[in-house]
Structure 1
Amino acid sequence: MATEVYLVRHGETMFNQLNKVQGWCDSPLTVKGIDDLKRTARALSQVHFDNMYSSDLKRAIDTVHLMKNANTVSEIGKIKKLPEFREVFFGSFEGDDIDQTWAQIGQTAGVGHETNVQKIINQVGIGNFREATKKADPRHLAENSAELNERMVRAISNLHQLTKNEKRVLVVSHGDFIKTLAIKYWDQNDGIHDIQFPNNGSVTRGIIHDDGTFEIVDYNKDAEDL
């Protein structure tokens, strides 16, 4: 049985608002974040889900409960938390100022004092950006491309095992993780070039096929587009 997967990005958080690096570190949803999520939840309220899952970070857990509570056509039990669907890990940069962090990574990547992450990625490529992040991290704990790819593959494999008898599920995850999944699994992308960062509360749809292969079929749709 193929399983349709609705990947929802969590709502805006305090760290998003304060322009801080937020990977495995956590911060609460803002009022704006909750309001945006309510629109997404209303748009999905009549979509039947066999189950709902979430990253194990609190901002994702709070988001999935908003989706669950608004849905009137699904009977969802206890939410299972999936650590593999956490955000990308930024190591020692967690909680730091975003502009200062990108400037450090940009210098390591050889593009000078650049604070615009998209410009850095455009110049060096997403793979080299990940390598530069790990190299610039004083403790070298940040995930590089190989580590992140291994975790993505494990995430899809685990989800496939969990959803073998489920036709449609919702999974709350994170912006950079969803984007990286789409770079790898979206047929409109070549698997190399960067793509637009998904919006808070946006929905990306994928399909896990019977044999465990995964593909993204719809990316970064806001509530009004659902």
Structure 2
Amino acid sequence: MKTTIYLVRHGESEANAEGILYGQTDCPLSVRGISQAEKTGEYLRDRQIDALYCSDLQRARVTAVAIGLFHPDLRVRTNIALREINCGDWEGKTVDWIRENYPEEYRVWRENIGRSVRPGGESVAQMQKRIVRRIKHIVKKHEGQTVCIVIHAMAIRAFCAFAEGKILDEMKDVPWVSNASVTTLTCEDGKFTLEELGYDGHLGDRVTTLKF
């Protein structure tokens, strides 16, 4: 049986708007981010969604609630394993600060993100393993159904690299997705297929991307 998965990136957070890495630190949505979440909820309102999951971080939960308003029979299920990568010493820091204080780690992040490690935090490999395991568990639980999972930019990028059979060195070829965008995958007989990456046409002039 074929399972459909919508991976939604959370709406713009206040940290996104300021160009700050927050990783697993909680941060609220910006005013624009709330509007984006509402727009994505409207976009998905007529889709059949059988289960709604999200990271336990506020920016993902608020986005999931906005989607759930159009699917009142669903409850939002939070899970800590769906969190963004732990940025360690980089949490709460600007890109300029990271570039100045961790030049070599920053270079690897920009040139070969799949091999990057956040000092004091997670490596991309560790985060990918965690995300893949959790999403596989969700898909197995809802085989043949449609699930919506609200998560984070790095998590989406890492999972899509896995779905396309890319090794970590090829993860750099998977683009960043914009806030509140919808990435569609299917899974059949244990094989994941990326159908559409980061659709954001429903956001109009509210589209925002990473400032890195």
Among candidates 158, 162, 184, match of residue 137 of structure 2: 158
Aligned to 2:197: 219
2:113 is matched with 126
Q: 1:108 aligns with which of 101, 104, 128?
A: 104
State yes or no: 1:29 paired with 2:32.
no
Q: Hey, what's the Cα distance between the residues in 2 that align with 1:103 and 1:172?
A: 32
- Identity across aligned pairs (percent)? 27
Q: Does 1:200 align with 2:197?
A: no
TM-score normalised by length of structure 1: 0.79
The one-letter code matched in structure 2 to 1:60 is A
Partners of 2:114 and 2:171 within 8 A in 1: no
Relative to structure 1, is the Cα distance of residues 160 and 143 closer, same or farther in structure 2, using a 3 angstrom cutoff?
same
Match in the other structure for 1:114 = none
1:110/1:47 CA distance change after superposition, 3 Å: closer
Instruction: Give the equivalent residue in structure 1 for 2:38.
Output: 38
Closer, same or farther: CA 161–190 of 1 in aligned 2, 3 Å: closer
- Offset, 1:127: 2.8
After TM superposition, give the deviation of residue 11 of structure 1 in Å: 0.5
Distance 1:173 1:5 in 2: 12
Q: In the TM superposition, what are the counterparts of 1:138-149 in structure 2 within 5 Å?
A: 140=120, 142-149=121-128
- Cα drift, residue 205 of structure 1: 0.7
* Residue 159 of structure 2 is aligned to residue 185 of structure 1: no
* Superposition RMSD in Å: 2.3
The DSSP-based 3-state class of the residue aligned with 1:45 is coil
What is the DSSP-based 3-state SS (H/G/I as helix, E as strand, rest coil) of the residue aligned with 1:80? strand
Work out the CA distance in 2 between the residues paired with 1:207 and 1:10. 20
CA contact (8 A) 1:52 1:76 kept: no
Q: Aligned-pair distance for 1:21?
A: 1.0
CA–CA separation in structure 2 for the residues paired with 1:13 and 1:143: 21
Say if 1:52 and 1:193 are closer, same or farther in 2 by CA, change over 3 A: closer
3-state secondary structure, aligned to 1:7: strand
SS in 2 for 1:216: strand
- Amino acid paired to 1:76: D
Question: After the TM superposition, which parts of structure 1 deviate over 6 Å for at least 4 consecutive aligned residues?
Answer: none
CA contact (8 A) 1:64 1:172 kept: yes
Cα shift at 1:158: 1.8
- Calculate the TM-score normalised by the size of structure 2: 0.84
